[in-house]
Amino acid sequence: MLEKKRVIIDTDTAGDDTISILMALHYFKVEGIMITGGNVQFHQQVENALYTIQVGGKSGKVPVYKGHEGPIMGFGESQHRTVEDVHGKDGMGDSFFEKAIQSPEEGHAVDFLIETIHENPGEIHLLAIAPLTNIAMAIKKDPAIVPKIPHLYIMGGTNNALGNITPSAEYNFFVDPEAAKIVLHSGIPITMVGWEMCTKYSIMDDNDHSEIEALSTKGAQFFKDVNKVVMKFNKSVHKLNGTTHPDTLLAAVAANEEIMTESNLYHVDVETVGELTRGYSLVDINNRLERSKNVRVCEAIDRSAFKEMLLEVLRSID
């Protein structure tokens, strides 16, 4: 049997982050989880990650580290925007689960990341399903980690498509464009799964939800609980008929690259300055700017394979 790949997850745990963590716990050896400012209140995100580990049956076995509570350029009056409207007040579909048994670790996520990479050069893959603040700050603090990271999978940005938090920007890139810029220019090998992959391939509609419910596992019940609020939000705001699973899709792609049926290496950058376009991800498909091709961009997914991976994860949790 093949040994599982080792990963560290960076997450603003709320909604689909939880299912993504469950998938990662299933397919990878998760060395640790880092929390970064994003979806909901920071302490709630920490709690959500700890609870999710417990749901995944790994309580006490996967350390959770607190990282940056907000974006690089967030301060004073200009704090970042949280999205309780999408994921519920608790980020868990207003489920208000009981408190997790496990506690977060001492020490800063950035230092955990730097140390773990240095101790395991070439071994630790990164799954980024949140604003890129922690990863950017680790790169700035110690650029020597860059050549020791074999691959970074990013859920973020869009590939010449509509954004989700503004028309021009996807949430993770929008919250911390400076961090995204630092990471994209770092030299780390990157695979990016943009928001349009999520809307095209990850949506679970009422039928899908029925199928999942029919699994009758704890995993299926948890999936149902955390997705209560986003189902309504997607219908009213994004005109999408179902729940969206960008972070889970990212974990699935990292776990099995073969479900990514189309991808290409492009120059990708992020706008930090624009009046209307802060957080916009530029993907230079036709190489008009003739700049270095720094990101492999996911362009198509085998949806049934993805769905089967999701079902397997939820089936296994009981």
Radius of gyration of the chain (CA): 18
Q: Which of 60, 81, 206, 237 binds a copy of itself (CB under 8 A)?
A: 237
Residues of this chain that interact with Ca ion (CB under 5 A) are 12, 17, 129-130, 247
Of 90 and 196, CB closest to a copy of itself:
196
Looking at the Cβ atoms of 219 and 279, the one nearer to a copy of itself is 279
C-alpha span between 229 and 89 (Å, rounded): 9
Told to check if 207 binds a copy of itself by CB under 8 A, we report: no
Our measurement of the distance from residue 19's CA atom to the centroid of its chain's CA atoms, rounded to an integer in Å, reads: 10
- In whole angstroms, the minimum distance from the beta carbon of 14 to Ca ion comes to 7
Binding partner at 17 among Ca ion, a copy of itself, none, C-beta below 5 to 8 Å by kind: Ca ion
> 130 touches which of a copy of itself, Ca ion, none (CB within 5 to 8 A by kind)?
Ca ion
CA distances for 217 relative to 35, 55, 114, 159, 313, angstroms: 27, 11, 37, 36, 10
Six token digits for residue 76 = 């004073």
Pick out residues in 158-197 that bind a copy of itself (CB under 8 A). 160-163, 165-168, 178, 181-182, 185-187
Which residue lies nearer to a copy of itself by CB, 20 or 277? Answer: 277
272 binds, options Ca ion, a copy of itself, none, Cβ within 5 to 8 A by partner type: a copy of itself
The reply to whether 68 sits near a copy of itself by the rule CB under 8 A is: yes
Closest CB to a copy of itself among residues 51, 174? 174
Cα–Cα distance, 155 to 305 (Å, whole number): 19
Bridge partners (DSSP) of residue 286 are none
Q: Is 73 in the site for a copy of itself (CB under 8 A)?
A: yes
- 35 vs 129, beta carbon nearer Ca ion: 129
Q: Which stretch binds a copy of itself (CB under 8 A): 56-64, 221-229, 279-287, 303-311?
A: 279-287
Site for a copy of itself contains 10 (CB under 8 A): no
Nearest distance from C-beta of residue 86 to a copy of itself, angstroms: 12
Q: Give the pair of three-digit tokens for residue 202.
A: 């990850």
> What is the separation of C-alpha 138 from the centre of its chain, rounded to a whole number of angstroms?
17
Contacts of 241 (CB under 8 A, 6+ apart): 203, 205, 206, 234, 235
Give the pairing type, strands 64-66 and 29-35. parallel
Question: How many H helices and E strands in the chain?
Answer: 13, 10
Cβ(193)–Cβ(224) below 8 Å: no
Helices within the chain (DSSP H only): 16-27, 42-55, 84-87, 109-119, 133-141, 171-175, 177-184, 195-201, 206-213, 218-226, 228-233, 246-255, 303-316
Q: For the CB of residue 227, give the shortest distance to a copy of itself in the complex, in Å.
A: 20
Comparison of 247 and 269: residue with beta carbon closer to a copy of itself: 269
Left, alpha or beta for 23 (phi > 0: left; psi -120 to 50: alpha)?
Answer: alpha
> Taking CB under 8 A as the criterion, which residues in 124-153 touch a copy of itself?
137, 140-143
275 binds a copy of itself (CB under 8 A): yes
Task: Tell me which residues touch a copy of itself (CB under 8 A).
Answer: 68-69, 72-73, 75-76, 108, 110-111, 137, 140-143, 160-163, 165-168, 178, 181-182, 185-187, 237-239, 269-277, 280, 282-286, 288-289
